[in-house]
Structures are given as structure tokens and as C-alpha cells.
Chain A
Amino acid sequence: MSRKLLEVNNLKTYFTTGEGTTKAVDDVSFSLNRGETIGIVGESGSGKSVTSLSIMRLIPDPPGKIVSGEILYYEKGKDKPVDLTQLSEREMRYYRGNEVAMIFQEPMTSLNPVFTCGNQVTEAIRLHQNVNAEEAKKETIDLFAKVQLPDPERVFNAYPHQLSGGQKQRVMIAMAMSCNPDILIADEPTTALDVTVQKTILELMNELRREIDASIIFITHDLGVIAEIADRVIVMYKGKIVEQGNVYDIFSNPQHPYTKGLLACRPPLDYRMHQLPVVSDFMDVEMKEDGSRIITEKAASIQEVIESVKIKPAETAQRHEDLYAKEPILKVRNLQTWFPSKRNFFGKPLDYVKAVDDVSFDVYPGETLGLVGESGCGKTTLGRTILRLQKAKGGEVIYNGQDILTLPQNDLKELRKDMQIIFQDPYSSLNPRMTIGNAIMEPMQVHKVLDNDKQRKERVVELLETVSLEARHFNRYPHEFSGGQRQRICVARALALNPRFIICDESVSALDVSVQAQVLNLLIELREKFDFTYIFISHDLSVVKFMSDRMIVMNQGKIEEMGKADEIYANPQKAYTEKLISAIPKGRVEDIKARVLV
């Protein structure tokens, strides 16, 4: 019997808008065997999500359309495969959720907010199986137990907003598994989650795939995640497959320069680097007039590229000696930020959530202080409280000898010039109706930097060039830019006021690993050029370690551990820190070998 389950042949999915046709998936062929997990990896825009949505026939039409190709599905007990592209909408509904199920990227928004989690799973069960409400409920609660949700009975009656992100993704997995599908498509299922939660979800999926007889198509931008779960890897670039093969081969002996770039751009854990390698270190892309691309290889060996940017430990030691000889630029003392969780009739708070609870630390001029912890640990609130974007309950924040928390409103404006923040979401932190040039110029106008708008415009162009954008981008709107470009615009906006102190709040968390590397490189470059002091906040210890001289590990509003980043990583003192370290997908070849051989 053939082990083949799904065969995609010459699939082409195009998007046609007023501006022309985008070949989102351009002649893609691959196959999936029974019991196999394949990982599709690529940056956003590589066509990996569109491929999976094409299999589900969920491409929004218009503007998208499957132009040609076959998607052959070999159903159990039938000798001839069905071509999913040829089915009517009604016939397709039988396969959706039943034989081919899907888990989406955003657990926060993928569940309907007005129905209970139990209701949404039983709905899928009752749709495809001939069972009554009682049985469906029992089955759902069993499923919830299987995906290791705490207290399945309670989750059954809970609404999505009452669960955490990881729990919601478990509900989504339970829903996808509810009808014993043959194929489970997971589209970036862990990207929106904390590293620690990502680890538990990956473990769960690994367990489940041993237990059930399903094949998994796992889509991600992060090769590190692929290393933990896939048997075979497909690398996609701009709608085409550039390389595919066994996971061990891909990691130990990558062939395509793009694959090498993706492998090299993850922040390393064992050593320090001046800059992260990026995809363009490995290849040049030339667009031809007919829209096709010519890729030329620049560097053959990942190792060579990495060696060229490594920092020697002695250099780091020297840098730290210089840094910590100075007086701290910022002193935080016993800072508390509490949010009322319960109020009495007259609105007087009765109980608090202690988001930041008695935190003290120093920041030295020119250093980068990392702040790492899971979501809800208070790291973002801490950053916002330091800038007085959030009211503190008590404590002191002394910047250059002044207590920020008690500054009068007028002096605060002066301070805002000096301290800037770069937010997590490059998509929502730019006003969609303002050209990016004006967005960068606005803070300069507010703070009366430079004499007139002409000078300011010149300065904006200069800034755009600093963040590797061009002067012609001045009059464009945010939607015309990619996520990485937008985050660079946000950096340029923060730079407009010549700040000395920048807080980066999860500034790279929403970005692809390859784009993340570019933005991190930019931040490091700026630090060297302008002598910035950073507080760098992230849930990902590998990124924080790469960026920071010292780091603070936060848990439940308190400081768990504080010290030199390398020392904390090499020798963590607390179990919580160890948990954060072990959650990082390492992508080591030896680990993959061990896993695949089992």
C-alpha cells in the first residue's frame, strides 16, 4: 500500500489586485506521507501560509485564486485520490475539519469571543460525526484532557478571553484533532506565544503525533522550531521551493544560500557577535524585467561568516570594565506599579495586581540592560513606568539626578526628548493615515527641534538613510512597508529627538527571525554610532542575551536574578531562569540527530 497521503503538484496561487498580479505560490510541488511531519519554512511573503490555505481551499477569493496545479488527497480505503482543487465548495466542506484540519497563528483571535471554548469544539464534532450533544461534550472534555488543559470541565464552560494564549492554542489543537483528521496543518502555531509556552506546545504536538495517526504540515519562519518537530523540511522563498530534504541533511549540510542565511541569523547562545549574519550575507538577488529572480551565492560556508563577526571574550571584558566605571545614568529604587483588580461601590480599589513589585536596579551610560521574563511578569509595565507612561504606586526613578516620578509636567516634556520607547507591534504603532515622513517629523515639531520644517525634512531624510530606507519613502504610507521596514521607521521616529536613552519593548518579537536579525543589527549599529543606552525587553532569552551586557530576569513583578548576561546564561541561579533557557529552540545538529534516530 502506498504511504502517500497528500501530493501537491505544480500548484500556482496568484493574487490579483488593481496593482497587478502577485505570484504568492509559484509552481510548488511536494508530497506528504502517512505519519510524517514536514516543516515548511520561509519569511513572511514566501508563500508558505498561502500554500496551506490553498490545501484547505480557504484562499480569500477575490483577490486570491488557485490558478493551476493539483492537490491530490489519498483517502483511506479508496484507491483513487481526490483532487481538492476540483471540488465544489459543498464537497470541500466534508474534508475541512474532518480530514484536513488547521491550527492558526493567532490563538488570541482565532477563537470566537462570544461562544464558550467547549461550544466551539463540540460544534466541530457534531458537524462531522453522528453523535448527540451529551456524547460530543464528553468527547470534548476528553480532548481537553488529552491536550493537557488544566481542569477540562472548567475550560469547557470558559470563554476564550478567560484563558491564556497557550491555553487557547491548546483549545485550537483540540478542535483540530476533534474529528481525527488525516492531515493537521499548523500555520505558525507558536509564533505569537512566549518561548516557554512555545516549548510546551511543541512537546504536546510531538506527543500527539505519536499517539494519533495524523500527518502534520508545520509552517514557521523559525528553523529552530522546525528542528524540534519536523522529519522533512521544505524551504520556501518568494513563492518557490528552494530546497527540500530530510531535517538532518538540511541542518548539517544546507545547500541553498537562503537556507544558510536562515540558519545563521538566529542569535547564538554560546558566543558573542558584533553583528548577526543576515540572508543578504549569503546571497544577492537580482530582479529581472519579467519578474523572475536570479540568486547568486556570496558565501559558501556558514562557519566562515560567523567567525568573521565573533567577539573575543577579552573584548567584552574590556567593554564592561569601561562601562561600569561610570556613574549610573538611571537609578530605579523600590519601584511599585499596582493595578486595582477589585473596587468597592465608590470606585475605591480594594485589591491590586502587583505588576511591578519593589524593583530596584541601575543602568549605566552606554550599556544595554536586558529585561527578560514570560508575558505577565511585569517587564512591559516596568518599562512604561520608567517613562511615566504608567503611573507608579511608589518608589523612585532617578535619571541624571532627577526623580522622574515627581517631575512637573513641563520638565517631563524635556525628559521625553531624552528617553524614547520603541514598541512591539510595528503594525499598530504607526498611524495609517500619516505618511512616514510626517510621522517621523511630528515629534520634532512638538519638541521644537530645529528651526523650521525645511530643516526638519532634511533631518528626516537623513534619519531614513540611517535606518537603511531612502529619501523617496518620505511620502509613503505605513501599509506600503513590510513589518521589518515599519519597525525601522519606528526606530527612526525614536531617533528624531536625539535621545540618549531608548527602551525597546519587545521590539523584534513580532518579526520573522531573518528580519529580527536585521533590526537587531541596526540597534547595535546605532548604539555604537550614537552611544545610546538601551533597556531591551523581550520574552526570548536568546535575543536578550545577544543584545545585552547585563540582564534582569523578572517573574511575577519581582527581580528573580540580575547580572552579566553571559554569566546568567552559563550559570543560572534560579529554576525560573533555567526554564527560560531550556525553552529556547537551539536547532543543534546533534539534538536533531538524537531525535531523528529515536
Chain B
Amino acid sequence: MLKGGIAIVLFLIVLVARKFDLIGALLLTGGLVAGLSFLRFAAQHPAFIAKRLGYGAIVILLVTLIILSIIYLAPVDPAQLTFGQNADAAMIEQKQKEIGLDKPLTTQFRLYLNDISPISIHENSDYNSNKYQFFKLIHFGKQVLVAKTPHLRESFQSGRKVSDMLAEAIPQTLILAATAMFFGILIGVVLGIIASLKQYSWFDNFAVIISTLGYSLPSYVTGIIIAIIFGYYLGPYTGLNIQGGLTDVDNFTGEKIFVWKNLILPAIALGIRPVALITQLTRSSMLDVLNEDYIRTARAKGLSFYAVIFKHALRNALNPVLTAASGWFASLLAGAFFVEKVFNFNGLGLLTINALVDYDLPVVLGSVLFAAFVFVIINILVDVFYAILDPRVAVP
């Protein structure tokens, strides 16, 4: 009760502060409430969080090492790629020096880590100060220990800062992934519950067959089918585009505008497999839970059918669903490569695929690192919410 009250007050404050932008306020309040319960948990179990963060740092370190090694071993020279066929040896050497490819792997690795670490040591110069935008902590000699936002370097191709490119792509992917997962969880859980309650009925069989089919189809196949049917053949009726990103530039004013309708088809294409997975998981998990003794206890109390299902059964059945859905969400956040490519949706997936095609190392590294970061954070969050949902999960 208390928690609900706090959430409503919070929502009203945010609503006023956001000048009555309803959707924005809802999202923000949701985030705030989740964040607050997370912080409360973190304050109660600091060692648990510290340990997970420690593991996370190791994961990111290893990912960086592996990606750098693969790139170093690949028989392609990014410096040459930037100039194409007409490059001469001197130009390539110059470029290699510029982007640090002439140095040994260990040095490259050390330099890159130093760049991405929030706490790092740099030469105390105006050039560096400008480049990293750092905050000096301790001086020793010519070097200085600084705090900064991770520096992901610049794209070989466009020369733009990788962090800027990511910052542009991430919101699109985030919105796409969240919509797809919302769609997946909502429909999947509802279908799963109905199927479990009517086990072996025609609906149950239908749900199982359809979800198996949906799960077996790769997203690029469903993506293309959906794009052709709803964007092309039915395009005049649905008013949807075959391709296109979430943001566009208005042809007349030159302002950045949101094209919300471009979200619909990719979100459906991306959501079909989660729907299938979550339907089956919810179904089998509900079937297990419905046979538990405490469901019989709840019925013996005289509770109504809906109270038994939604209060007593569902909460117990959702844990495996939560685990699967969060893992999936994390992988979508890393970029829905195929679907973004099919729909030419300007998110992280498209950015990464294009960078791979061009061998644009800093961009590839940046997006892979971001993906690793997302996985680590989501896994910590899931562990925490697991512990909040199920009091039996022991927290050291």
C-alpha cells in the first residue's frame, strides 16, 4: 500500500515537472520506482552488489581483450580500407600511426583500456584535457590521475566521436527493444496463462503449435514477410513504410522529427519470437505451479478462481519467465541486427553491421563494449529483482 502511494505521488510530481507529458512521465516514474527499490536493496546488501559489479568489470575486460585480439589477427588493414584502392604505402603508414595500429597488441590494449576506464592516467596537456574532457584528481610529475566519461575514440570512417554515434543509436534501439518485449511479455503471459488453464483444449494445442512455429522462424524471415505484406501490399491501407528509422529530418524545416509509425512493423517482427518463448515458458511454469500444494490451500480458503490464479499462482510462475525475458531483452538492447537491417531502422544493430562492413574498429569496439555493459547491468538487475520477487533466494 505504502509503495503504491509513493509511486502515485512521484508520478504526479514528475507529471507536473514534465509539463503534462503523460508517456514521458509514466516512463520516468517507472524508472524512478524501479531505481529506488534497487537502491534500497543495494543499501541493504552492499557486498552482493559490489561482488556483482566486480564480476562485471572482469567480463568487460575480457570482452575488450578478445575483440582486440580478433581484430588484430584479422587479415584486413583498416588503414588501407579508409583510403580504398588508391592508397599508397606512405599514406597508409601515416594513417596507421595516427590510429595507433603500428604499436604492439599489448600497448594497444593498454592504451584502449586507459581510454575507456573512468579512472585513468594521462599526460597532463591541454590537448588531452580537450580530448578527454577529464577532471583532474591527483598530479604526479607530467602524468595526472583523472576521472572522465569513458572515451571510445573516433570513427575511422566519419571521424565522428563513437560516443556521439552510440548516443544517437541507443535510444532508437532501446525504444524498439522495449516495445517488442512489452508486446512479447503481455501477449506471451496472457496466452500462456490461458493455455495452462485449458490444458489439452483446442486453444492450448493451437497456442503450442503457433508458438513453436513462431519460435522456429528466424526474425529476418518474419521481418521480410511482415515488411512486404503490411508495408508494401497493404501499405496504402495501413499507411506504414516498408523501411525507415525512428528519427528523420523534416524536408521543409530541417528539424529532427520522430516517425513513430516506423516502430510498429519492426517491433512486431522482433516481438514474435519472445511471444512464442514466453507463451511456452508461462504455460509450463503455470502448469507446474497449479499442481503445487499451496494452490490447493488457497482454494481451501475459499478464494475465488481469479485470486488463486493471479495472486497465488502467477507470482510463483513468473520467475523463469523473468529470467528468459531479461536475457532476451539484453540481447535486443545490443542491437536487433537482422530486423534493424531489414527495416533500415537506424539503431545500434544497423550501426554495428555497417561498422563491421566498413571495418570501422572503434565503432565495432564501442558497440560490443556497450552490449557487454548492458548484459552485465541487466544480469545484476535480474538477480536483484529475483531476490525481491522470491524471498527464498538467499542473498549473501
Give me the interface of A with B, judged by CB distance under 8 Å: 56, 58, 89, 93-98, 101-102, 104, 106, 109-115, 123-124, 127-128, 159, 161, 172, 175, 343, 345
What 4 additional pairs, Cβ within 8 angstroms, besides A96-B300, A101-B300, A123-B303? A58-B296, A110-B297, A113-B294, A124-B301
Determine whether the beta carbon of B294 is less than 8 Å from that of A93: no
Min Cβ gap B139→A in Å is 32
Given the known A-B contacts A159-B391, A343-B396, are A114 and B316 also in contact in the complex, defined by CB atoms under 8 Å?
Answer: yes
Decide yes or no whether B97 CB sits under 8 A from chain A.
no
Task: Count chain A CB atoms within 10 A of each CB in B47, B315, B391, B392 and give the residue with the most.
Answer: B391
Cα–Cα distance between A127 and B51 once the two chains are bound (Å): 44
Contacts A159-B391, A161-B391 given; does A109 touch B294 at CB 8 Å: yes
B301 touches A111 (CB 8 A): no
Interface residue SS majority, chain B: helix
How far is it, in angstroms, between the C-alpha of A128 and the C-alpha of B298 when the chains are bound? Answer: 13
Given contacts A113-B316, A113-B390, contact A127 B297 (CB under 8 A): no
**Interface-central residue, A102, A104, A106, A110, by most chain B CB under 10 Å:** A110
Which residue of chain B lies nearest to A343 when distances are taken between CB atoms in the complex? B396
Task: Scan residues 283-332 of chain B and give those whose CB is less than 8 A from a CB of chain A.
Answer: 292-294, 296-305, 312, 315-316
Q: Are B296 and A127 in contact (CB under 8 A)?
A: no
Shortest CB-to-CB span from A71 to chain B, Å, is 16
Q: Can you give 12 A-B contacts (C-beta < 8 A)? A: A93-B302, A93-B303, A97-B301, A98-B302, A104-B293, A109-B293, A113-B294, A113-B391, A124-B302, A175-B297, A175-B301, A345-B47
> In the complex the two chains form, what is the Cα distance from A123 to B294 in whole Å?
14
Is the CB–CB distance between B315 and A94 below 8 Å? Answer: no
A185 nearest in chain B by CB position: B300
Q: What's the Cα separation between A292 and B185 when bound, in Å?
A: 53
Say yes or no: B51 contacts A345, CB within 8 Å.
Answer: yes
What is the CB-to-nearest-CB distance from A57 to chain B, in angstroms, rounded to a whole number?
Answer: 9
- Choose from A104, A127, A161 the contact partner of B302 (Cβ within 8 Å): A127
Kindly list chain A residues whose C-beta atoms are within 8 Å of the C-beta of B298: 112
Q: Which of B375-396 contact A (CB under 8 A)?
A: 389-392, 396
The yes or no answer to B249 lying at the interface (CB within 8 A) is no
B300–A97 CB distance below 8 A: yes
State A579–B302 Cα separation when bound (angstroms).
39
Given contacts A114-B389, A114-B391, contact A172 B302 (CB under 8 A): no
Interface centre among A94, A115, A172 (most CB of B within 10 A): A115
With contact pairs A109-B292, A113-B316, A113-B392 given, residues A58 and B300 touching in the complex (Cβ less than 8 Å): yes
A106 touches B293 (CB 8 A): yes
Q: Does B50 contact A (CB under 8 A)?
A: yes
CB neighbours of A128 from chain B (8 A): 302
Point out the residue from B301, B316, B390, B392 that lies within 8 Å of A127, measured CB to CB. B301
Question: For A123, what are the chain B residues with a Cβ–Cβ distance below 8 Å?
Answer: 301, 303
CB-defined contacts of A345 to chain B, threshold 8 Å: 47, 50-51
Q: What is the bound-complex CA distance between A49 and B305, given in angstroms? A: 23
B293 touches A58 (CB 8 A): no
Pick the 5 closest A-B CB pairs, nearest first.
A97-B302, A96-B302, A97-B301, A109-B293, A112-B294
Q: How far is A95 from B303 in the complex, measured between Cα atoms in Å?
A: 11
Given contacts A93-B304, A94-B302, A124-B301, contact A110 B391 (CB under 8 A): no
In the complex, which residue of chain B has the Cβ closest to the Cβ of A101? B300
Q: What residues on A are CB-neighbors of B391 within 8 Å?
A: 113-114, 159, 161
Q: Which residues of B contact A343 (CB under 8 A)?
A: 396
Q: Which residue of B lies closest to A108 (CB)?
A: B293
Kindly identify which residue among A89, A98, A159, A172 contacts B297, using a CB–CB cutoff of 8 Å.
A172
B299 pairs with A58, CB closer than 8 A:
yes
In the bound complex, what is the Cα–Cα distance between A111 and B292 (angstroms)?
A: 10
